[in-house]
Amino acid sequence: MVRRVLRGETGPTGGPAMTDLLGTLESWTPPVISVRPESGAPVSIALADVVSGKPVPPRPPVRLRVSPDQAETWANDSWTALETSRLGSWLLRASAGYSARANSVLAVGSPGVPLGDAVTAVQAFYASRGLPPWAQVVVGSGPAEDLAAAGWVLARPGEADTLFQVASVAQAVRAVRRTLPPVAPETTVSASVTPDWLADDDRALAAGHAAIGVLDGPAAGGEVGLVAVHDPAEGVMAKGRVAMGPAAPDWAGITNVWVSADRRRSGLGTVVMAALLSWAAERGATTAYLQVRGDNPAALAAYDRLGFTTHHAYRYLTPPT
């Protein structure tokens, strides 16, 4: 940020007029400096006209300026529970027990009632459905601190927080294409769950229609893509899911990335990610997001190579037994 005098002009107090220029300092060659603004050509400024200057860090990308509460609200659209109910800004979700996200209250913002009343409502909602009362909270947020102060504890003791990571779709597509194996197997993409796509997933198979309902989401007005790499003899060797919801039509959520145990370290995960990101790019997504456990260094390193960076972390809380 450079403040400079505008020669020949008078300011509002009668003194010399001044103006600020924000940009990148490209050269310092007395008697002038050159500053390139965010748009347009570089500007040459006489050092004699410079009143002051200070370093300003670059603005973070737009996707990182989105609040955690907003990001979680948008992400909910791509992993939609079968049943939802509003409690102020909080969202009660139930899906017959399939997945923590679809069976917990998304506690962002204010519940619109005193905390004690909110806790009572949450417990009653889940008790009536035979589910434990869980709350998904952003680490360090007001609801997380309030529930902890009310005695709520980690629902999964000893488990690392989940990291919500984001990346530019365009940059991730370029990065993943550079790492594809020389001869990449073909992928298929379906708009709904197929039996072979589910064949390896014991948790989803046990949940039955509830799992299919969640996976076949997202919210009305959204779209889902289920990617699979097939082998004629083995069936699905690798797969993943990508979805876009109506609330943020340029954000795409990636979930359920899986590679068969005997096919790992063969590049199939990269093949699946390439297909998921391409699907998102074709539909106009500019931001991709995913959730990964903080204690999964292999996955974190793989996503880092594609440009994913941590936006925030979340965890699940539950009342003490």
Are 214 and 98 in contact by the 8 Å Cβ rule? The answer is: yes
DSSP 15-39: SEEEEEE-EEEEEEETTEEEEEESS
pLDDT band at residue 234 under the 50/70/90 scheme? confident
Are 102 and 93 in contact by the 8 Å Cβ rule? The answer is: yes
- pLDDT at position 68 is 96
pLDDT band at residue 207 under the 50/70/90 scheme? very high
As a whole-number percent, the residues of the chain with pLDDT over 90 amount to 79
Lowest mean pLDDT among 54-68, 89-103, 180-194, 230-244: 54-68
**Is the peptide bond between 31 and the residue preceding it cis, with omega within 30 degrees of 0?**
yes
Give the Cα separation of 269 and 237 in Å (integer).
Answer: 10
Find the mean pLDDT for residues 263-268: 82
Q: Where are the domains of the chain?
A: 2-53, 63-154, 162-313
Q: Which residues of 109-129 are buried (b: 16+ CB within 10 A; e: fewer)?
A: bebeeeeeebbebbeebbeee
Q: State phi, psi for 142 to the nearest 5 degrees.
A: -60, -50
- 0.85 surpassed by pTM: no
User: Tokens 């194996």 — which residue?
Assistant: 181
- pLDDT at position 219 is 67
- Encode pLDDT of 236-260 as tens digits: 899 999 999 998 889 999 999 999 8
pLDDT at 233 over 80: no
Region of residue 256 (phi > 0: left; psi between -120 and 50: alpha; otherwise: beta)? left
- pLDDT at position 228 is 95
C-alpha torsion angle, residues 294, 70, 210, 292 (rounded to 10): -10
Q: Using only the alpha carbons of the chain, give its radius of gyration.
A: 25
- pLDDT at position 59 is 60
pLDDT at 113 over 90: yes
DSSP 191-202: SS--HHHHTT-H
As a whole-number percent, the residues of the chain with pLDDT over 70 amount to 98
- pLDDT at position 163 is 98
Across the chain, how many H-helices and E-strands are there? 10, 18
The hierarchical CATH code for the domain 162-313 is: 3.40.630.30
- Encode pLDDT of 10-29 as tens digits: 888 888 899 999 989 999 99
pLDDT at 218 over 90: no
Alpha-carbon 277 to chain mean position? 14
Find the mean pLDDT for residues 121-145: 98
